[in-house]
């Protein structure tokens, strides 16, 4: 069994990584406030890490948050129509970059998978959920170790 994620990362580090990603991708003036969460119902995207520590980095947002995120990242006007593909694409890219930056803080060498959206595998006991708030929307970044028997992904959509 690999080292538990709780001993490899603390909440402050995950929050700092997320804040940097938010500032660069969502907007220089966009503030991600640590705390709040978890998100009970929402949309998730995640990316896998394989190495001395294996698991997933999962981003979960409420539906309203994902819509607002898409508008912010794509710099769309509030009246512009959103395409479902773009909403998922934005969520996947945020999870992908969060995963890449979290991976860089973990023991290596390791590899990053392709981001997916849908219902993420249920976490086991090796899990670190970090809550945050953006524009009043709660969101959760969950770093979770691989379970002994990996869950199937019947509802996932691999990025295209």
Partner 1 sequence: MKILVVDDSRVMRQIVIRTLRQAGWDDVDVVEAVDGADALVKIAQESPDLVLSDWNMPEMTGIDCLRELRAHGSAVPFGFVTSEGSPEMRETAAEAGALFLIAKPFTADTFRDQLGAVLA
The DSSP bridge partners found for residue 139 are 61, 132
C-beta of 114: minimal distance to partner 1 in Å?
A: 6
For residue 89, give every residue at least 6 positions away whose Cβ sits within 8 Å of its Cβ, in sequence order, or none: 159
Q: Are 14 and 127 in contact, with CB atoms under 8 Å apart?
A: no
- Lay out the site mask for partner 1 across 60-99 (x = CB under 8 A, - = otherwise): -------------xxx---------xx--xx-xx--xx-x
Rounded to 10 degrees, the C-alpha dihedral 139/25/69/78 comes to 150
Token digits for 18? 């997320």
Residue identified by tokens 């981001």 is 115
| CB 20 to partner 1: min, Å | 6
- C-beta closer to partner 1: residue 93 or 124: 93
Q: Please list every residue from 21 through 50 that binds partner 1, using CB under 8 A.
A: 21, 23-25
Q: Which is nearer to partner 1, 5 or 94 (CB)?
A: 94
Supply φ then ψ for residue 11, to 5 degrees: -60, -40
Contacting positions for partner 1 (CB under 8 A): 20-21, 23-25, 73-75, 85-86, 89-90, 92-93, 96-97, 99-101, 103-104, 108-109, 112-114, 158-160
């Amino acid at each position: 069994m690999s080292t538990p994620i709780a001993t490899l990362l603390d909440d402050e580090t995950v929050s700092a990584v997320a804040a940097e990603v938010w500032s660069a991708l969502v907007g220089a003036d966009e503030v991600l406030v640590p705390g709040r969460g978890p998100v009970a119902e929402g949309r998730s995207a995640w990316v896998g890490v394989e190495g001395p520590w294996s698991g997933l980095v999962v981003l979960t947002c409420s539906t309203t948050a994902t819509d607002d995120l898409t508008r912010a990242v794509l710099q769309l006007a509030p009246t512009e129509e959103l395409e479902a593909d773009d909403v998922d694409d934005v969520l996947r890219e945020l999870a992908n970059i969060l995963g890449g930056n979290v991976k860089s803080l973990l023991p290596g060498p390791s590899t990053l998978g392709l981001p997916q959206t849908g219902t993420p595998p249920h976490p086991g006991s090796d899990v670190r959920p970090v809550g945050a708030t953006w524009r009043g929307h709660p969101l959760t970044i969950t770093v979770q170790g691989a379970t002994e028997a990996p869950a199937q992904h019947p509802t996932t959509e691999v990025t295209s």
